[in-house]
């Protein structure tokens, strides 16, 4: 396979330049993943040992895709590359080296829920106001400190930080951080931020360990470098210090995660770290039409703080970007839903070809209502991940206890689930005994007769014996056999099976799905160790972007713009382009914040392949009050040659006329003209015939509707029921209509007449 033949000159140059510091500035849709994978393959083809290559990504999905592509070029050698997310790679290193910093190798990894649960316990013990010291706020404060490598001790000893906290009425934050750190350590647990924070501590305090990995990783590649924080930056810098064969790939124009600690200066100042840096720019966009690329360029040109590049497209010119004005957010939803329905019918598209992007989650409501009204199926991304569901977290807590019985949060989660006679009073006694005798919760539980009395000691002792039994099974059996044993003998399977409600059945099926996933894990050929503890590490390190997003599901995609990064769709709608919404009111305090909002808009625009529609409402409800809205300043920054207006006949509020009038009111030149009315073609053969309902049409009772029945719909005409799914009030019928083809309808909304 001549993997270099399909690369353009810029891509090929970036792939072949393997020695020394390299920065690849990759514009949107420019083939970045191809360049990274072929560059790694090229290193291996040149004789570099895959064990000496480290590739860091931000999602497991990206790492998996890259490894599969590399395997197509170099074969099974790709399995030996150190490739994965920052958190997964350094968790792997910490498993080996943790004892250097006083942690067991089988440390637990706390997810966000575990961390917040522990913080709530600490706040309760310290008798602090949980409104002033909200667990989410405290968690984010601690996370920010760790990402900037500020330990709890340094936090407490910093006069500046302490003065800031006291001035905000939160003078106990430092002590909470210290207690949280101590409790995690005592439980043998690290949170997500610790995986990077503790790696920095390890490398700083143990130069011999750092030296070992500096010589192991002779070639480093970092994807999405614009999204790295200070902690990640420092680790990469240290690892590359000896060989300096470091290649970072990214696009400053797509740096949108400052709220998560990402520092755009890492990519903007990379040349200062490596003066002999070689820079390659991938500027050809293979994804979008020329109109969309030109519009995106006109947006990002307004940012002062950027690496200059000239992104271009050789694709078709494409349709102009439509700008729609709605009277309200509900009308905006209606406009979008109708546009999707019409485009799909006229062009024979699938629902999966459409995506609706918004700045805030709350905006989905109006879109959902409009889509439901005309039976358009949709899926919201960024909802509850499979591994965040209660029943899954319950069983995984048992797995965690099996390998780390000191895991305090796991103990509290399942010690009385399913119910085994260990109530809150007994749990409080365990906590008091642990504190009084300076013991871990597990030490108290495993020696229950020493610390507890009566019936509670018996119930707690039985729980300890059960966990010890799980430890023996897990040590001697495969991940699947151990997981099945724990699911059965913990009582979880029995408890969920006994619940015959729709929700109970769903939870039981979710547990089955988890066990199926573990079975698949044990049958994978690309991993050597297949114990339940290894599977647990994989689960703990799943990123938000790794949620199951079935690309084949025929639904319209709804998501925030942040969630859309890395995705692409033929047709994209960006809604809510209004001042104080997008750009956000919270992002207008400084140039750097405004520029991040503009980069967010750039990311949204560049998700579109064929067609892009922008919309805004002239009024929107906020906190129950209807407010007039101004169009976003970002609309003014778009190249007018790329745009087409679609202003409906409904007038704007009194304080605004057409979009052009609004621009003039801001003292800017009028660059828009109302488009000429489109003349419909004389022939309508391409359009479905309008259905005339049967005289006296009245919907039937469809509670007993069956497959094979003939039905009539007021608009869609006559059809035949070919499938029914769902239960009670949520039965969905698949009907083949003679004029329109197959459609799915919710019976409670469909208004069908049984023929």
Residue 317 is a catalytic residue:
no
Task: Answer yes or no: are the C-beta atoms of 220 and 244 closer than 8 Å.
Answer: no
Residue 426 is a catalytic residue:
no
Residue 32 is a catalytic residue:
yes
Answer yes or no: is 667 a known binding residue: no
Q: How far is CA 717 from CA 167, 338, 688, 735, in A?
A: 68, 19, 11, 11
Task: Answer yes or no: are the C-beta atoms of 615 and 575 closer than 8 Å.
Answer: yes
Instruction: Give the 3-state secondary structure of 589-626.
Output: CCHHHHHHHHHHHHHHHCCEEEEEEEEEECEEEECCEE
Residue 287 is a catalytic residue:
no
Answer yes or no: is 461 a known binding residue: no
Residue-wise DSSP of 638-665: S-GGGEEEEE-SSPPPTT--SHHHHHHH
Write down the catalytic residue from 97, 193, 223, 353.
223
Number of neighbours of residue 593 by Cβ within 10 angstroms = 16
DSSP label at residue 581 = B
Answer yes or no: is 519 a known binding residue: no
Q: How far is CA 538 from CA 338, 479, 505, 517, 529, in A?
A: 42, 13, 27, 12, 12
Write down the catalytic residue from 67, 352, 412, 607.
607
Q: Which helix (H) or strand (E) is 574 found in, with range?
A: strand 569-574
Residue 499 is a catalytic residue:
no
Tell how many helices (H) and how many strands (E) occur in the chain.
32, 22
Classify burial at 639, counting beta carbons within 10 Å of its beta carbon; exposed 0-12, middle 13-18, buried 19 or more: middle
Write down the catalytic residue from 11, 181, 254, 543.
254
Two tokens, residue 92: 């792997």
Answer yes or no: is 382 a known binding residue: no
Residues 6+ apart with CB under 8 A from 211: none
229: helix, coil or strand?
coil
Q: How far is CA 523 from CA 84, 474, 477, 546, in A?
A: 20, 17, 14, 21
The residue behind tokens 């400052």 is 258
Answer yes or no: is 28 a known binding residue: yes
Alpha helices in 240-301 (DSSP H): 265-268, 270-273, 290-300
Write down the catalytic residue from 11, 32, 57, 596.
32
Number of neighbours of residue 624 by Cβ within 10 angstroms = 5
- CA–CA distance, 281 with 311 (Å, rounded to integer): 9
Q: For 110-141, give one letter per residue: b (16+ CB within 10 A) or e.
A: bbeebbbbbbbbbbeeeebeeeebbbeebbeb
Residue 278 is a catalytic residue:
no
Q: Report CA 484 to chain centroid distance, whole Å.
A: 29
Write down the catalytic residue from 97, 114, 191, 224.
224
Task: Answer yes or no: are the C-beta atoms of 581 and 360 closer than 8 Å.
Answer: yes
Answer yes or no: is 33 a known binding residue: yes
- CA–CA distance, 90 with 675 (Å, rounded to integer): 56
- CA–CA distance, 561 with 574 (Å, rounded to integer): 9
Answer yes or no: is 32 a known binding residue: yes
For the annotated binding site for ATP, the residues are 26-33
For the annotated binding site, the residues are 26-33
* Residues that are catalytic: 32-33, 223-224, 254, 607
């Amino acid at each position: 396979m001549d993997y270099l033949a399909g690369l353009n000159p810029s891509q090929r140059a970036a792939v072949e330049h393997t020695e020394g510091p390299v920065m690849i500035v990759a514009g949107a849709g420019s083939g970045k993943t191809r360049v990274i994978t072929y560059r790694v393959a090229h290193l291996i083809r040149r004789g570099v040992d895959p064990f000496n290559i480290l590739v860091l990504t931000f999602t497991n999905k990206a790492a998996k895709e890259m490894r599969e592509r590399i395997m197509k070029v170099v074969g099974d050698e790709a399995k030996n590359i150190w490739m994965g997310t920052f958190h997964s790679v350094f968790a792997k290193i910490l498993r080996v080296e943790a004892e250097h910093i006083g942690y067991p190798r089988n440390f637990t990894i706390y997810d966000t829920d575990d961390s917040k649960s522990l913080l709530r316990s600490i706040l309760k013990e310290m008798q602090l106001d949980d409104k002033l010291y909200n667990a989410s706020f405290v968690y984010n404060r601690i996370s920010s400190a760790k990402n900037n490598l500020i330990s709890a001790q340094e936090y407490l000893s910093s006069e500046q930080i302490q003065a800031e906290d006291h001035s905000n009425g939160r003078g106990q934050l430092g002590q909470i951080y210290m207690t949280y750190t101590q409790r995690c350590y005592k439980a043998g647990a690290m949170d997500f931020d610790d995986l990077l924070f503790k790696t920095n501590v390890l490398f700083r305090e143990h130069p011999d360990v750092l030296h070992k990995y500096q010589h192991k990783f002779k070639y480093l590649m970092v994807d999405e470098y614009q999204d790295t924080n200070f902690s990640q930056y420092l680790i990469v810098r240290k690892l590359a210090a000896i060989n300096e064969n470091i290649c970072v790939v990214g696009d400053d124009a797509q740096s949108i995660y400052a709220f998560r600690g990402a520092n755009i200066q890492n990519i903007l100042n990379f040349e200062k770290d490596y003066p002999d840096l070689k820079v390659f720019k991938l500027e050809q966009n293979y994804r979008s039409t020329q109109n969309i690329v030109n519009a995106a360029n006109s947006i990002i040109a307004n940012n002062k703080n950027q690496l200059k590049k000239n992104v271009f497209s050789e694709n078709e010119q494409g349709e102009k970007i439509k700008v729609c004005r709605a009277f309200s957010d509900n009308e905006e939803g209606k406009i979008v839903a109708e546009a999707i329905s019409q485009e799909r019918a006229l062009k024979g598209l699938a629902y999966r070809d459409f995506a609706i992007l918004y700045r805030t989650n709350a905006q989905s409501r109006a879109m959902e209502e409009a889509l439901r009204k005309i039976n358009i199926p949709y899926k919201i991304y960024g909802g509850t991940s499979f591994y965040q569901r209660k029943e899954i977290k319950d069983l995984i807590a048992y797995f965690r206890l099996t390998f780390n019985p000191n895991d305090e949060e796991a103990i509290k989660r399942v010690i009385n689930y399913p119910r085994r006679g260990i109530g809150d009073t007994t749990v409080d006694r365990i906590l008091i005994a642990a504190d009084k005798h300076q013991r871990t919760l597990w030490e108290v539980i495993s020696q229950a007769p020493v610390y507890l009395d009566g019936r509670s000691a018996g119930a707690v002792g039985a729980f300890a014996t059960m966990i010890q039994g799980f430890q023996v099974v897990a040590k001697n059996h495969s991940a699947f056999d151990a997981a099945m044993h724990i699911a059965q003998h913990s009582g979880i399977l029995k408890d969920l099976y006994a619940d015959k409600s729709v929700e109970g059945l769903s939870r039981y099926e979710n547990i089955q799905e988890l066990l199926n996933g573990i079975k698949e894990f044990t049958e994978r050929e690309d991993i050597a160790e297949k114990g339940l503890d290894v599977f647990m590490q994989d689960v703990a390190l799943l990123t938000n972007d790794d949620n199951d997003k079935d690309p084949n599901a025929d639904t319209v995609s709804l998501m925030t713009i942040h969630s859309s990064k890395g995705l692409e769709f033929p047709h994209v709608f960006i809604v809510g382009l209004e001042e104080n919404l997008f750009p956000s009111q919270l992002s207008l305090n400084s140039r750097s914040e405004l520029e991040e909002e503009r980069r967010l808009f750039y990311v949204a625009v560049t998700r579109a392949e064929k067609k892009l529609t922008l919309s805004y409402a002239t009024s929107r409800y906020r906190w129950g009050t209807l407010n007039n809205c101004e169009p976003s300043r970002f609309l003014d920054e778009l190249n007018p040659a790329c745009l087409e207006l679609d202003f409906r006949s409904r007038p704007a509020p009194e304080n605004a006329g057409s979009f052009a009038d609004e621009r003039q009111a801001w003292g800017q030149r009028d660059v828009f003209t109302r488009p000429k009315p489109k003349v419909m073609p004389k022939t309508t053969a391409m359009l479905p015939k309008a259905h005339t309902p049967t005289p006296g049409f009245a919907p039937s009772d469809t509670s007993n509707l069956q497959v094979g029945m003939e039905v009539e719909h007021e608009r869609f005409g006559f059809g035949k029921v070919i499938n029914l799914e769902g239960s009670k009030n949520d039965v969905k019928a698949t009907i083949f209509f003679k004029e329109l083809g197959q459609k799915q309808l919710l019976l409670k909304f469909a208004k069908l007449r049984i023929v």
